[in-house]
């Protein structure tokens, strides 16, 4: 598959936690992955945005999970291209959705051309 967005991030949203999986170009064909967790209070979300910006992220994918995503969307929409992903489509992607070290569907969605 062709890489569409080389610097992207997938967010896994929870009530009190946001897990971010950052993908940046690696030294070989595989991307470099970094996973960090952030709180959901405004200072934490601003720190998430600063971390993404410092790493040159252009696109951020997140599930459209209702009220949990609204504050995150509002704080990040001016800085990044946000992609809302339908949770039903993520469940259809092979792999372990619950594995926070991968965030397979969220991270591959923005990175790969299907």
Integer angstrom CA distances of residue 50 from 18, 23, 43, 77, 110: 14, 15, 10, 13, 20
- Which residues constitute the domain of residue 53? 8-111
- pLDDT digits over 47-102, tens only? 999 999 999 999 999 886 678 888 899 999 999 999 988 766 655 555 544 444 44
Q: Is residue 27 part of a domain?
A: yes
Find the CATH number of the domain harbouring 38.
3.30.420.10
pTM value surpassing 0.85? no
| Total of domains in the chain | 1
Q: Is residue 1 part of a domain?
A: no
């Amino acid at each position: 598959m062709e890489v569409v967005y080389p610097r992207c991030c997938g967010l896994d949203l929870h009530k009190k936690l946001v897990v971010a999986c950052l993908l940046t170009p690696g030294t070989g064909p595989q991307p470099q992955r970094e996973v960090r967790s952030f709180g959901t209070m405004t200072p934490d979300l601003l720190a998430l945005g600063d971390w993404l910006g410092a790493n040159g992220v252009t696109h951020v994918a997140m599930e459209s999970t209702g009220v949990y995503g609204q504050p995150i969307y509002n704080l990040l929409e001016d800085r990044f291209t946000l992609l809302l992903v339908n949770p039903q489509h993520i469940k259809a992607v092979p792999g372990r959705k619950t594995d926070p070290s991968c965030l397979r569907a969220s991270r591959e969605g923005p990175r790969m051309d299907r």
